[in-house]
Amino acid sequence: MQTLLDPAILFFVFGVLAGTLKSNLEIPPQISRFLSLYLLMALGLKGGFALAHSGLTLDVATTLGCAVLLAVLVPALGYQVLRRFLNGYDAASIAATYGSVSAVTFITSIQFLESRGLPYGGHMAAAMALMESPAIIMAVLFANSLRRGVTLAAPSMAVNAGGGTLALGGLPGSGGRSAPTPLGKILHESFTDGAQLLLLGAMAIGILTGEAGKAAMAPFSVDLFKGMLAFFLLDMGLMAARSMGELKGKSPWLAAYGILAPLCHATLALGLALLLGIGPGNGGLLMVLAASASYIAVPAVLRYAIPEANPSLYLGMSLGITFPFNILVGIPLYMTVAHAVLGRG
């Protein structure tokens, strides 16, 4: 209940209600883009200032290594599960969406910890950046493997699509074939994405300027942060309400996956944190990162990289189901469990 009474969370709930009522309330795309860039810049600065204070330690390296391991395990396991009731392209795209991370979910969890005075490491912003791209790369590899199989088959070949069929020979402009996506292009887009570069650049600036930079940027990166987050969550609430409609008529298994998968991924992260001796604050953030699903960076890449996949599935699930679940229920649940299992520090 205390979480729901947080102003930023209440603005998210308000946005969902306004969107459900089909209100004409909307945040202009340029404003929404600015808010997301501000939050990433502020987060990067906070992480950089914290790293300048703590330095690179064995604990930091262990946590970052755990983050990379999760970024590989989650999409690999997700793809194997999703192939049981979806065609390969949709399975790969959803696995990538859930294998990557949501920056806003992570930022909201940071605010959750700070509002309760719970410690965490600034290097967790670097962990978030490291976890964004591996799932995209793996999904492209999965899709390219499927395409090689398609080119060896007849153009009229169809693949089971969870209650229906997807005609692979009828892809627009494919002439019955779909050429593998160049992995080099996807790697370039993944590692030069503007939002990720801003996060890493701000973190580097925070490390270089240290305490002096922290004092100088406090009015920007601290005082404004809560209000900007509330404004952005309002926009996310409106988008979530609209995305829920994309899933009407879809398999109930997809809705179940949108809630059960984050819980399973968070449990996997908790187990690794317990095994590696990671503290409750950082362990809780690893749970949040593993449980989150991308709804901006990954869908933007997938529209080009895996055009055979249905965007309404991976975008509708991540933004319409998983994002609201994590914001309203997941974050307090993960943090509570992390502090109970990993101990207070």
Local confidence pLDDT in tens for the 345 residues of the chain: 455 568 888 898 899 999 889 899 988 989 988 988 898 888 888 888 888 877 778 888 999 999 999 999 999 999 999 998 889 999 999 999 999 999 899 999 998 998 888 999 888 988 888 888 888 888 888 888 888 875 444 343 333 433 333 333 333 333 344 566 666 666 666 666 677 788 788 888 998 998 999 999 999 888 898 899 889 889 988 888 888 777 777 778 888 999 999 999 999 999 999 999 999 999 999 999 999 998 877 877 788 788 888 888 888 899 889 999 999 999 999 999 999 999 854
Q: What is the DSSP letter of 301?
A: H
Residue 152 has a pLDDT of 42
Q: Which two tokens stand for residue 319?
A: 């933004």
CA atoms of 56 and 59, how far apart (whole Å): 8
Q: Are 342 and 300 in contact (CB under 8 A)?
A: no
Residue 183 has a pLDDT of 60
The overall longest dimension of the chain from CA atoms, in Å, is 65
Residue 161 has a pLDDT of 36
Task: Report which of 316, 325, 324, 345 is spatially closest to residue 94, judged by C-alpha positions.
Answer: 316
Identify the three-state secondary structure at position 133.
Answer: coil
Question: For residue 322, is it within any domain?
Answer: yes
Question: For residue 205, is it within any domain?
Answer: yes
CA atoms of 312 and 90, how far apart (whole Å): 10
Question: For residue 58, is it within any domain?
Answer: yes
Question: For residue 262, is it within any domain?
Answer: yes
Residue 160 has a pLDDT of 41
Helices (H) and strands (E) in the chain, counts: 16, 2
Task: Report which of 96, 128, 16 is spatially closest to residue 294, judged by C-alpha positions.
Answer: 96
Residue 250 has a pLDDT of 74
Question: For residue 21, is it within any domain?
Answer: no
Whole domain around residue 106: which residue ranges?
A: 7-11+26-339
Identify the three-state secondary structure at position 172.
Answer: coil
Question: For residue 244, is it within any domain?
Answer: yes
CATH code (residue 257): 1.20.1530.20
Q: Partners of 158 in the beta sheet?
A: 167
Taking CB atoms within 8 Å and a gap of at least 24, the contacts of 303-307 are: 304/181, 305/136, 305/139, 305/140, 305/143, 305/181, 305/186, 306/89, 306/92, 306/93, 306/139, 306/140, 306/143, 306/181, 307/171, 307/178
Residue 278 has a pLDDT of 94
Residues in the chain: 345
Cα 19-23-24 angle, rounded to 5 deg: 115
Question: For residue 99, is it within any domain?
Answer: yes
Task: Report which of 257, 330, 318, 240 is spatially closest to residue 4, judged by C-alpha positions.
Answer: 330
Total structural domains within the chain: 1
Q: Which two tokens stand for residue 19?
A: 């969107």
Residue 256 has a pLDDT of 92
CA atoms of 295 and 323, how far apart (whole Å): 9
CA atoms of 74 and 91, how far apart (whole Å): 13
Question: For residue 212, is it within any domain?
Answer: yes
